[in-house]
Structure 1
Amino acid sequence: MLSQTKRTEVKKAKHKAIFEQEQLHKIIDESLIGHIAISEENGPIVIPMLAWRVGDYVYIHGANNSRLMRTLKKGFSTCLTFTLFDGWVLARSAFHHSAHYRSAVVFGSFETVEDANEKDQVLNHFIEHIAPQRTSQVRLSNAKELAATMVLRIPLTEASVKISNSGVNDDLSDLDRPVWAGILPYRTVVGPLEPVEASTHLDEPDYSQAYGERWYSNTN
């Protein structure tokens, strides 16, 4: 179960709140883009970052001179959000149009991953997540590259999840209105691969196992 705190309490559309840890993990693992909030002299700013999960932590990486990374490294409290858009809900009235989505909000503070071996492992974990078996083929990061890269992590100890997937919620007085109503789904399709010219003579790798039903097929 997800933790329930003042910050994670869902106040709007409480019926959409989800408390299973598994759903939080699924949203993060599919999204891989986190929007991170920091406060600067000129006001708050939200920056999108690649973000991936290993166990009960979310990791991000960036250059040592990145303003976002340098700010988060200080341990300030922050908020990290993930959103997946699944479609439009088209109602018989303009007011009741809505959306299907899955969203997660993570609260806490980032900490620095200092050990070079651990940094290497979590960075390689990200590559394996998006392209299984690839780390056995590519040149892995060297000491200079690891030293130039900052890796931060935040624990998933305080988070909330909302999932909107209900049908059309029309007023009874609109049900006889002769207008089409229903769901307009959005689906993410991954692939096919697009090789650079120098790779066209090499066997094409198969990364479909990482994406399940989202993987491209000739029937799409």
Structure 2
Amino acid sequence: MLTARTKLSRLPKRGSHDTTTIYPILDQGLVCHVSYVLNGQPFTIPTAYCRIDDTVYIHGSVGSHFFRELAKGIDVCVSVTMIDGLVLARSAFSHSVNYRSVVAFGKTQLVADEEERWLALERITEHLVPGRWADVRQPNTSEMKKTMVIAIPIEEASAKIRTGGVNDDPEDIDLPHWAGVVPLSTTYHAPIPDPNLREGVEVPGYLLK
């Protein structure tokens, strides 16, 4: 469903409402921002997440004011952005950023089904570090009681993407200033072991990719 919430008015050629564009961005991002309004005051909270089909899942403490509000079933906006490069033009006005972003809307749902809760927690862990869930101790009963899982079925969403190089005005092309793109990416560095790591425990292969 497309409404005024997700209709792109600024540079619509960069936008898409197709899940084949939206879902890969959600699947590659590591942090989403969840925004909502409480008593006229807007709030935005960054959090880890995962996507399962057309639903975004997040988790947090049952004591969190933020999650207690989400558990009531409220309208939220979820956004994910990845920066791929800085586009440096000859003029300050023409500078830009290469990016991929998604803005989605939905109503929160408290997840009570235990099977769905476990699946969401596994997928959130695997979304951040593929291979990790099967390599660690699973949550115990006490930890599960302290954890709230919230589902956000995507009612509508839009993606917006900017790629390419500099778009200077023709009259600026001959100016004596460097112009081009500085690529950016999320990079995994060498793992730093915990100082209390048990002797003989090697770095798992999934962290060395």
TM-score in same-fold range (> 0.5): yes
Contact 1:101 1:163 in 2 (8 A): yes
Give how far 1:67 is off: 1.2
Instruction: Show CA shifts across 1:153-193 (max 9, x none).
Output: 11123101000113211111111112221101112111321
Secondary structure of 1:107's counterpart equals strand
Q: Residues of 2 paired with 1:137 and 1:97: CA distance? A: 45
Runs of at least 5 residues in structure 1 that lack an aligned partner in the other structure = 210-214, 216-220
Q: 1:153 is matched with which residue: 151, 154, 162?
A: 151
Instruction: Show CA shifts across 1:21-42 (max 9, x none).
Output: 1322222222221111122236
The reply to whether residue 79 of structure 1 matches residue 104 of structure 2 is no
Deviates more, 1:130-139 or 1:62-71: 130-139
Q: 1:155 to 1:42 in 2, by over 3 A?
A: closer
Secondary structure of 1:44's counterpart equals strand
Which residue of 2 is the match for residue 166 of structure 1?
164
Give how far 1:43 is off: 1.4
Stretches (4+) displaced over 6 A: none
**Residue type of the partner of 1:81?**
S
Percent identical across equivalent pairs?
38
**Residue type of the partner of 1:182?**
G
What is the TM-score of this pair, normalised by structure 2?
Answer: 0.91
Contact 1:38 1:71 in 2 (8 A): no
Q: 2:192 is matched with which residue: 185, 191, 194?
A: 194
Q: 2:38 is matched with which residue: 26, 37, 40?
A: 40
Q: 1:125 is matched with which residue: 123, 126, 130?
A: 123
Q: Residues of 2 paired with 1:136 and 1:80: CA distance? A: 28
RMSD over equivalenced CA pairs, Å:
1.8
Which residue of 1 is the match for residue 9 of structure 2?
11
Which residue of 2 is the match for residue 207 of structure 1?
206
Runs of at least 5 residues in structure 2 that lack an aligned partner in the other structure = none
The reply to whether residue 144 of structure 1 matches residue 156 of structure 2 is no
Contact 1:102 1:163 in 2 (8 A): yes
Instruction: Show CA shifts across 1:183-208 (max 9, x none).
Output: 01112111321111214631211226
Instruction: Show CA shifts across 1:95-147 (max 9, x none).
Output: 10111111111101111110123211210122223333333332111222112
Contact 1:38 1:68 in 2 (8 A): no
The reply to whether residue 91 of structure 1 matches residue 89 of structure 2 is yes
Q: 1:25 to 1:208 in 2, by over 3 A?
A: farther
Q: Residues of 1 paired with 2:47 and 2:180: CA distance? A: 34
Contact 2:58 2:124 in 1 (8 A): no
Which residue of 2 is the match for residue 218 of structure 1?
none
Instruction: Show CA shifts across 1:12-62 (max 9, x none).
Output: 111110233132222222222111112223611111111211222110111
Which residue of 1 is the match for residue 179 of structure 2?
181
**Residue type of the partner of 2:154?**
L
Q: 1:134 is matched with which residue: 132, 135, 148?
A: 132
**Number of residue pairs matched by the alignment:** 208
Q: Residues of 2 paired with 1:79 and 1:134: CA distance? A: 29
Secondary structure of 1:150's counterpart equals strand
